[in-house]
């Protein structure tokens, strides 16, 4: 009996220390506070986009002009989302997009325009509308520009001016540019133009080919460095390699960050990605493949090892009992 | 009086611990295994179109030197030859079958001479002078037009294995 | 010349006994190494530490096969090669990381058990001192090991801790550079800590463990009442079959059987953490590769160093360094600061019992404050008071034990 009391004391103080040092301290370190010192609760909202977070940020800044701009923008987006889009007309409009998003790996003053093969499947509908209406506002990076038309894709504002046009092309993308997408494809389309992932041999130029001769290998490396310099100039610094990102950040951070980078890193250059829940799940799966590939094996082996030690402990208990039998 | 009883619980515990020990040893063995990237690097493609007759090219496969010799018309035909179109090639692992040194090719004599102990091989890789005990080993290969992929087993290689011309080294 | 029986067959008991004194060894270390009966599971912590050290050694061996001590290669050799390519590499890495953290939990439990029951007193001073030597050695081993993955925390903890050696107002920057082998933690720094972690400190630890056991053998382990046991009398009773009346048990197999049971319970916890709950031991910040041009938002040592770290922090540079040094020394000199002759559990020693719990809680508060951002004024204040309190614990113990009433030991 006394031993159980002692065990309870030991367990209590150990758990107390753990709680203070881990959950409590990490919460204290990472929580965000507003100007009054009150905690700002940052939660994911299921990867749907209505501008609520952007507007709340502007309100906290106390910038009335910005608040009304954002409110107007996002209510316009919602308005457009209610328009019925024509898929056939949209296909013709989509040709405008292919002009830059052409897969030729050509940097257009920012990053290489992402591949749009599954754009209607992995991105949220409202986000796509917002993106075409004003890419900087959609990405919540308008703070970088005096005039959002300076965004590398900013000119779309004057190329696609009619609400119906936008509704049509988004309808086309959702109908025809969706379908089955692998985790690798989702990752390539959503992340690779800015982020490299060296553990799977991916750079901002895509998959690294195999070269027989060192000279060709080095020539390719130079092309990669030049592209990285261009992205660095656009972003302010080179976006991090994502190989180990899934283990370097918590689940909560990843979700809220991808949904709205400003919530976790105020002032960052990274635009909101605009993934929908399905798209994010695919990207997360690929990040796990690259950065935590032993996860499945770990979860498979765990129960067996623990069960083994439970059995071991039970046998040890009975052996102890037999050894101590005639001692008391 | 002490009666020595069979320590059944102790034996059961010991057996359980032994099972755990075997599991741990298995994990240890797997950690020692060659890494997947090492095993994947075991394929080399060589382009034979630029090969010149009687000029030895030495390539690399799985860390070992590979002799690639395009035979001339006056070199005798041999069942060890690899035939591509109208050309005959001698392709082998360039390590003397005696104790593993790399023999040098004497183009004038159409012979490989191993400096370590004096063994010799002809232009088809047959051992012709002691202490070379056996012919130069033919690596697994697959033909692909004018290219040869080492590390993969193509039909020509499989036939050589069946005929005893190629051996697993 | 020793006597050798010609008829003894090779490698039998008699043959080995003649050559290496096998039976004497068995008696002295196992079957007639007497342990008091009046003990609890806390007495198993030593064995658990030995087992954990063994696990760290073995998992370390497999990590060592693939780790590359080069600032360009280290991070990927761990996080790519070992974690995804090596068969069960991820398992060894998780075991090693969790083990390194748990070993300190057990060390602290082991230390505080010793303090509570007075196991550092009369006759057992060397056990305590060699144990403190082990604490310092394990701390050095943990610090050097944490450098090796060369993540952000590795680099910046290395930067901060080596900066301490500038000695505040002494401004010994040359010394700091000498320790690092470079102006900043770099390749030279990594490889020398690799040498320390893989060879030198493990050898020191093994030597200290042998010393720790050696200093334990004659005084024997303590017991729950701190009672003086007549080992010869009790041993005779036990050997005569009067096991109930005897106050002792043999180490093997009786004490060992309890040790192994406690170890089983420990391993269930250990492997649960290895497979399912390991971020406390493998901090996410260290999964960002080291970047000398970018400091993480929060730098902190592993949890077991936090109480020391917090004694350093609240004061000005020089005062902090002195406070830090004093706090480490206080533990080492505990047997000599405690002036009372009583070898008894804390609950029988009046004020000492209060001192004990205040110490424990103060250390937990210091640990928590060491992790919390000092920019928060409340945390900074709590940290300051806790650090000052800790510095008074040494003198307080001195005073308390001088006035402690001598306990009359009954029969």
Residue C88: give its domain's CATH number: 1.20.810.10
Could you give the dihedral angle defined by the CA atoms of residues B74, B78, B82 and B86, in that order, rounded to the nearest 10 degrees?
Answer: 40
CA distances from C36 to A39, A69, B68, C31, C90 (A): 56, 79, 78, 14, 42
Work out the pLDDT band at C1, boundaries 50, 70, 90: low
Nearest residue to A182 via CA among A283, A113, A102, A291: A283
Among C292, C322, C337, residue at a domain's last position: C292
Neighbours of chain A (3+ CB pairs under 8 A): B, C
The region that residue C241 occupies, defined by phi over 0 for left and psi between -120 and 50 for alpha, beta otherwise, is left
Please indicate if any CB of chain B lies within 8 Å of the CB of C31. no
Assess if residue C149 is contained within a domain: yes
Among C292, C323, C358, residue at a domain's last position: C292
Residue with tokens 């034996």: B11
Work out the pLDDT band at C136, boundaries 50, 70, 90: very high
Same domain, C184 and C144: yes
Work out the pLDDT band at C406, boundaries 50, 70, 90: confident
Residue with tokens 């004659």: C218
Tokens of A175: 């109908």
Among C292, C314, C330, residue at a domain's last position: C292
Contacts of A316 in chain B (CB under 8 A): 13
Please indicate if any CB of chain B lies within 8 Å of the CB of C305. no
Establish, for the pair of chains A and B, how many residue pairs have beta carbons separated by less than 8 Å: 27
Burial of B51 (0-12, 13-18, 19+ CB in 10 A): middle
Helix count and strand count (H, E) for chain A = 17, 4
Residue A31 DSSP one-character state: -
Residues in chain B predicted with pLDDT less than 70, given as ranges, are 1-5, 169
Q: What is the pLDDT of residues C392-402, one digit of tens each?
A: 998 999 999 99
Tell me the mean pLDDT in the region C227-245.
84
H runs (alpha helix) in C292-376:
306-312, 317-332, 334-337, 351-371
Residue B155's φ and ψ, nearest 5 degrees, are -60, -35
CA distance C354 to C362: 12
Same domain, C202 and C347: no
Q: Where are the domains of chain A?
A: 1-30, 31-293, 300-328
Nearest CA in chain A to C287: A248
Helix (H) or strand (E) holding B159: helix B155-162
Neighbours of chain C (3+ CB pairs under 8 A): A, B
CA distances from B127 to B119, B124, C46 (A): 8, 9, 66
CA distance A192 to A242: 9
Close Cβ partners of A230 (under 8 Å, ≥ 6 residues apart): A107, A110, A111
Same domain, C266 and C156: yes
Q: If you average pLDDT over every residue of chain A, what do you get?
A: 92
State the pLDDT at residue B138.
93
CA distance B118 to C74: 46
CA distance C276 to A255: 21
CA distance A266 to A57: 10
H runs (alpha helix) in C218-288:
231-239, 256-276
Tokens of A113: 């325009």
Assess if residue C331 is contained within a domain: yes
How close A135 gets to chain C, by Cα (Å)? 30
Q: Look at residue C317 and tell me whether its pLDDT is greater than 90.
A: no
State the pLDDT at residue C210.
96
Q: Look at residue C249 and tell me whether its pLDDT is greater than 60.
A: yes
Burial of A196 (0-12, 13-18, 19+ CB in 10 A): buried
How close C106 gets to chain B, by Cα (Å)? 23
State the pLDDT at residue C68.
97
* Test mutation, C72, C81, C84, chain A, max A CBs within 10 A: C84
Yes or no, beta carbons of B9 and A308 under 8 Å apart: no
Give the strands of the sheet with B104-106, arranged side by side.
Answer: B104-106, B111-113, B120-122, B127-129
Q: How many CB atoms lie within 10 A of CB A280?
A: 23
Contacts of C62 in chain B (CB under 8 A): 28, 31
CA distances from C144 to A270, C94, C98, C202, C330 (A): 36, 17, 16, 11, 24
Please indicate if any CB of chain C lies within 8 Å of the CB of A247. yes
Domain that holds residue C308: 300-411
Tokens of C402: 């001088």
Contacts of B16 in chain C (CB under 8 A): none
CA distance A187 to A193: 10
Helices A277-291 and A251-259 cross at an angle (nearest 10°) of 130
Most confident of A156-170, C15-29, C79-93, C305-319: C79-93
Q: What is the pLDDT of residues C150-185, one digit of tens each?
A: 999 999 999 988 888 887 778 888 888 888 888 888
How close C271 gets to chain B, by Cα (Å)? 13
Residues in chain A predicted with pLDDT less than 50, given as ranges, are none
Q: How many CB atoms lie within 10 A of CB B49?
A: 9
Same domain, C271 and C344: no
Q: What is the pLDDT of residues B48-91, one digit of tens each?
A: 888 899 999 999 898 899 999 999 888 888 889 998 888 899 99
What is this model's ipTM? 0.91
Query: Could you tell me where the beta strands, DSSP code E, fall in B48-109?
Result: 56-61, 64-70, 82-84, 87-93, 104-106
Residue with tokens 């300051």: C384
Same domain, C237 and C316: no
Q: If you average pLDDT over every residue of chain C, what do you get?
A: 91
Nearest CA in chain A to B9: A319
Instruction: List the single residue in B16, B23, B45 with the smallest CB-CB distance to A315.
Output: B16
Same domain, C229 and C340: no
CA distance C74 to C25: 45
Contacts of B19 in chain A (CB under 8 A): 308
Residue with tokens 């770099």: C186
State the pLDDT at residue C411.
39
SS3 C149: coil
State the pLDDT at residue A35.
78
Please indicate if any CB of chain B lies within 8 Å of the CB of C64. no
State the pLDDT at residue A110.
82
Instruction: List the single residue in B10, B31, B37 with the smallest CB-CB distance to C89.
Output: B31
Residue B26 DSSP one-character state: H
Same domain, C282 and C308: no
Same domain, C246 and C269: yes
State the pLDDT at residue A183.
96
Same domain, C327 and C263: no
Residue with tokens 């360009």: C72
- In chain A, what are the helix, strand and coil shares in percent, each to the nearest 5? 65, 5, 35
Global confidence as pTM: 0.89
Q: Look at residue C211 and tell me whether its pLDDT is greater than 90.
A: yes
Same domain, C285 and C308: no
Q: How many domains does chain C have?
A: 2
CA distance C137 to C210: 14
State the pLDDT at residue A111.
86
CA distances from B118 to B67, B115, B130, B138, C109 (A): 19, 6, 7, 21, 70
State the pLDDT at residue C231.
85
- How large is the C-alpha radius of gyration of chain B? 25
Same domain, C325 and C283: no
Question: Residue A234 in contact with residue A111, Cβ under 8 Å?
Answer: yes
Close Cβ partners of A93 (under 8 Å, ≥ 6 residues apart): A160, A165, A168, A169, A172
State the pLDDT at residue C409.
63
Residue C27 DSSP one-character state: I
CA distance C286 to C288: 5
Instruction: List the single residue in A212, A312, A319 with the smallest CB-CB distance to B10.
Output: A319
CA distance A245 to A197: 10
State the pLDDT at residue B1.
41
How far is Cα of residue C44 from the mean position of the Cα atoms in its chain? 14
Q: What is the pLDDT of residues C37-91, one digit of tens each?
A: 889 999 999 999 999 999 999 999 999 999 999 999 999 999 999 999 999 999 9
Q: Which residues of A11-46 are buried (b: 16+ CB within 10 A; e: fewer)?
A: eebeeebeebbbeebbebeeeeeeeeeeeeebebee
Question: Residue C386 in contact with residue C310, Cβ under 8 Å?
Answer: yes
CA distance C191 to C72: 12
State the pLDDT at residue A242.
96
Residue C293 DSSP one-character state: T
State the pLDDT at residue C241.
83
CA distance C101 to C89: 19
Q: What is the pLDDT of residues C364-399, one digit of tens each?
A: 999 999 999 888 889 999 999 999 999 999 899 999
């Amino acid at each position: 009996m006394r031993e159980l009391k002692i065990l309870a004391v030991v367990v209590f103080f150990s758990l107390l220390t753990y709680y203070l040092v881990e959950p409590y301290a990490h919460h204290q370190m990472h929580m965000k506070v507003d100007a009054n010192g009150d905690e700002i609760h940052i939660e994911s909202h299921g990867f749907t986009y209505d501008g609520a977070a952007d507007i709340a940020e502007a309100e906290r800044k106390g910038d009335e002009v910005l608040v009304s701009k954002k409110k107007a923008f996002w209510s316009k987006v919602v308005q457009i989302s209610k328009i019925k889009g024509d898929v056939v007309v949209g296909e013709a409009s989509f040709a405008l997009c292919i002009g830059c998003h052409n897969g030729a790996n050509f940097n257009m003053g920012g990053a290489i325009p992402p591949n749009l093969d599954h754009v209607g499947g992995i991105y949220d509908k409202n986000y796509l509308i917002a993106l075409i209406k004003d890419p900087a506002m959609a990405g919540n990076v308008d703070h970088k520009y005096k005039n959002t038309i300076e965004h590398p894709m900013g000119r779309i504002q004057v190329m696609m001016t009619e609400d119906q046009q936008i509704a049509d092309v988004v309808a086309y993308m959702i109908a025809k540019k969706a379908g089955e997408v692998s985790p690798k494809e989702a990752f390539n389309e959503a992340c690779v133009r800015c982020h490299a992932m060296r553990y799977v041999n991916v750079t901002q130029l895509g998959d690294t080919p195999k070269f027989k001769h060192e000279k060709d290998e080095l020539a390719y490396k130079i092309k990669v460095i030049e592209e990285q310099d261009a992205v660095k100039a656009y972003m302010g610094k080179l976006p991090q390699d994502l190989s180990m990102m899934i283990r370097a950040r918590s689940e909560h951070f990843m979700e809220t960050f991808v949904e709205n980078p400003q919530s976790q890193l105020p002032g960052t250059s990274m635009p909101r990605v605009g993934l929908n829940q399905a798209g994010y799940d695919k990207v997360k799966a690929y990040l796990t493949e690259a950065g935590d590939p032993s996860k499945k094996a770990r979860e498979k082996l765990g129960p067996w090892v623990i069960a083994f030690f439970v059995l071991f402990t039970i046998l040890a208990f009975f052996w102890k009992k037999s050894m101590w039998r005639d001692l008391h | 009086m002490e009666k020595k009883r069979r320590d059944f619980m102790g034996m059961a515990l010991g057996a359980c611990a032994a099972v755990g020990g075997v599991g741990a040893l298995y994990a240890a063995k797997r950690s020692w295994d060659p890494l997947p990237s090492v095993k994947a690097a075991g394929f080399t493609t060589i382009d034979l179109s630029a090969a010149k007759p009687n000029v030895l090219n030495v390539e690399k496969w799985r860390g070992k030197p590979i002799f690639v010799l395009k035979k001339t018309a006056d070199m005798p035909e041999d069942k060890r030859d690899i035939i591509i179109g109208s050309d005959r090639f001698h392709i082998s692992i360039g390590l003397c079958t005696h104790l593993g040194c790399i023999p040098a090719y004497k183009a004038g004599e159409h012979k490989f001479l191993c400096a370590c102990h004096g063994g010799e091989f002809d232009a088809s890789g047959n051992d012709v002078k002691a202490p070379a005990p056996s012919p130069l080993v033919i690596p697994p290969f697959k033909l692909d037009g004018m290219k040869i992929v080492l590390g993969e087993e193509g039909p020509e290689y499989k036939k050589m294995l069946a005929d005893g011309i190629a051996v697993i080294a | 010349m020793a006597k050798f029986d010609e008829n003894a067959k090779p490698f039998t008991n008699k043959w080995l006994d003649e050559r290496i004194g096998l039976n004497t060894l068995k008696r002295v270390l196992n079957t007639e190494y007497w342990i008091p009966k009046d003990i609890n599971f806390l007495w198993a912590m030593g064995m658990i530490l030995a087992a954990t050290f063994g696990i760290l050694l073995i998992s370390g061996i497999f990590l060592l096969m693939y780790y590359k001590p080069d600032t360009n290669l280290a991070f990927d050799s761990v996080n790519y090669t070992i974690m995804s390519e090596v068969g069960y590499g991820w398992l060894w890495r998780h075991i090693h990381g969790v083990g390194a953290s748990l070993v300190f939990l057990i060390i602290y439990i082991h230390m505080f058990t010793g303090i509570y029951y007075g196991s550092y007193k009369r006759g057992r001073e060397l056990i305590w001192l060699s144990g403190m030597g082990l604490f310092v050695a394990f701390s050095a081993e943990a610090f050097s090991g944490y450098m090796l993955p060369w993540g952000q925390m590795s680099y910046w903890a290395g930067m901060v801790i080596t900066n301490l050696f500038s000695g505040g107002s002494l401004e010994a920057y040359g010394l700091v550079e000498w320790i690092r082998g470079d102006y900043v933690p770099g390749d030279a720094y990594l490889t020398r800590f690799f040498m320390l972690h893989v060879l030198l400190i493990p050898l020191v630890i093994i030597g200290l463990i042998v010393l720790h056991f050696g200093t334990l053998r004659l005084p024997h382990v303590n017991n729950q009442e701190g009672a003086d046991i007549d080992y010869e009398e009790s041993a005779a009773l036990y050997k005569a079959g009067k096991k109930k009346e005897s106050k002792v048990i043999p180490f093997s197999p009786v004490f060992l059987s309890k040790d192994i049971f406690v170890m089983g319970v420990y391993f269930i916890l250990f492997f649960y953490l290895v497979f399912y709950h390991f971020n406390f031991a493998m901090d996410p910040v260290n999964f960002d590769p080291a970047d000398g041009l970018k400091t993480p938002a929060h730098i902190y040592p592993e949890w077991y160093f936090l109480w020391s770290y917090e004694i350093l922090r609240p004061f000005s540079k020089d005062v902090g360094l002195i406070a830090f040094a004093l706090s480490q020394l206080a533990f080492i000199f505990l047997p000599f600061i405690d002036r009372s002759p009583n070898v008894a559990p804390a609950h029988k020693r009046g004020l000492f019992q209060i001192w004990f719990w205040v110490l424990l809680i103060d250390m937990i508060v210091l640990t928590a404050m060491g992790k919390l951002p000092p920019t928060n004024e409340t945390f900074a204040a709590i940290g300051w008071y806790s650090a000052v309190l800790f510095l008074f614990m040494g003198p307080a113990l001195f005073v308390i034990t001088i006035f402690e009433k001598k306990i009359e030991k009954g029969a």
